[in-house]
Amino acid sequence: MDDRPLFGPFARKGSYSRVQVLDHLFADDRFTALYQETSILPEVDELMLYRRYLQKDDRVLLHGNFSPHLFNLLCAEGYDLHLVEPELNRITGISEKYLNRVYGLSNELIDVMGSGVFDKIVLPGTTIARYSRGELLLFFRNIRHLLTMNGRLLVNIHNADYLKRHVQPIASRRVQDCTLFYGQKVDRDRLIFNTYLKSASDEKVGYVLEHLYETDTLFEFAKLSRYRGRTLYAGKSISILEFDKIG
């Protein structure tokens, strides 16, 4: 219990025997929806971003944390999108006709599609934030084989300084019969998201650990993994980077 990254009132709630502690926040749909909503940084219009940087004749792999609405819309516009999403409740809302483009794990994807078939891989900021430094470096190396010879990574990264300066104080939502609380805390280079819900039938806390990265770190990892990169957009809360696979 002590190792769990719960803070303040969330830690107190988590210590009560009646309160269930979810190590995997996405096991609860209500937590998932709240987390997805609070993770959105409105600085960049995602639809415009993908329309601008993806070509319709590109085969594109989206690696996790992608809006079902956006997925449906872009597929309907003719983009050849494929999605790896291990969380079942995060694909709710994807149209049935596009479900054959969704994979639970990268292994499944390779079984169906094979290696070296994607012109672009999109890594959303929330996917990057889930990996520690070592994991991220390995991830960069491991996804190389999914890309074609001239394949590219499109990475958006939530700016660490901005997130540290805009930590969400404890806030709440009432959704139908349920009250949800959430808040963030910075712990060195990690952002801890805590959430709690209470309804007539259950009481739970959950958390997500996000690793904060500067763009320099990603350029360094890219170089070590044999990519060559550039910044496409540098904003206050978000940066968008593009990396070419080398050799």
* Contact set with other proteins (CB under 8 A): 9, 12-13, 37, 42-45, 48-49, 52, 169-176, 179, 181, 196, 232-233, 235, 240
Sheet with 227-234: strands ordered across = 102-103, 80-84, 59-63, 118-123, 147-158, 238-245, 227-234
User: Which letter does DSSP use for residue 17 in this model?
Assistant: T
Chain-centroid distance, C-alpha 220: 21
Nearest residue (CB) to other proteins, 98 versus 243: 243
Closer residue to other proteins (CB): 222 or 238: 238
The nearest distance, CB 198 to other proteins, in angstroms, is 8
Closer residue to other proteins in complex, CB, 45/108: 45
For residues 101 and 81, the answer to whether their CB atoms sit within 8 Å is: yes
Backbone angles phi, psi at 114, to 5 degrees: 85, 175
Nearer CB in complex with other proteins: 148/215: 215
Closest CB 57 distance from other proteins, rounded Å: 21
> What tokens does 183 get?
């808040």
Nearest approach, Cβ of residue 172 and other proteins (Å): 5
- CB 239 to other proteins: min, Å: 11
Task: Using alpha carbons, list the distances in angstroms from residue 23 to 8, 14, 216.
Answer: 17, 11, 31
